[in-house]
Structure 1
């Protein structure tokens, strides 16, 4: 988690100040913002959306929807979120963490700050049978997911490359004998060295492929009018955030 001043959706505050009530308002404001944007994507008025919730058996008045969207509702119930997601024909998870804002910092819980795409991924990707014309929301979900998965592979290959390069340097310097497994396979130091060199080249090729895919993924999001998160800030889990915090301290 980052130290110092941080911009989280809806407020500017120190990440060490964990106010549960403020966090609850932050979540509600973000849901309201997402309802407003998805409603606009669907071309629905607030009244039409209210009518759609009534048809589902749980009416949410137009005034309630207006208060949600304006950030005047401090708490939004699970029932309301569930019915709104169905009425808007979007995955429930996208009301919590919008695919239209993948690089936005959010707090799934008061004590943790992550990018929106990482929180969305943690909730789980669900194939949702939306309208057949493939609206921007569904395309955004798909584009964010594919970019997140590709960048995770890129991070993993980068880490693997560091390990293999270290091994290669040790072999070239004569400081590393063949591993027990390679010895059982009858590999000499020279053979192990050659194999490691091939492994390094293979990993570099995979990184290059992931970088090409990354460029395509970025363009896909940009074509949808969505700002991608920077690749160098790709979320790799709580350990990575702790390391960043230590560096910033």
Structure 2
């Protein structure tokens, strides 16, 4: 009698030990499926619908200090090609030739990261768009992994023209100011549909740090960087490095 019960008791304890593990795996699987479904739905929606708000905007302290944000969504048809050329010259010269990731830039960033300090990712315009629309600033390797997932999705679903259109509409262009149109109105007093090469280069030069780099009457590094971008714009246009946005 006693011998017959021992296997059953052992099996019962084994089931108790395994049950939490199976439950955790089920919840993990459901979480992954749910995340994939939601991310796919958002990517498909934003393929056609303007992005109304982002985490970056909501978490921007300056937006709350200023009493709100300024942003105006505009079709890429209403944004001067000079600005498209400028951001490619400044941010991502391989925008039209890569699949969302610049492997050479990523390798260089990884080498720098091994030396310590702030994590760098060698981000492309596609990756920056994915971060700005779906995620948040900072976050280290976990956020970079999420960024890679969304970058892959928007490259497949949106295409280069839509990626550029969204990027230029959600990028921070000044204090509590987002998007090319709002930035152009703030700094130059006119629509982004008619930006000069100099104006576009100065805005592109300030994009990485729009709260700190002046667009109007820049000096020092920002002025030199803007001049460098203006020179590169000729190469971008000559070599068709922005052609994928307009073909």
Given the two structures, how large is their TM-score scaled by the length of structure 2? Answer: 0.21
* Higher RCO (CA < 8 A, seq sep 6+): 2
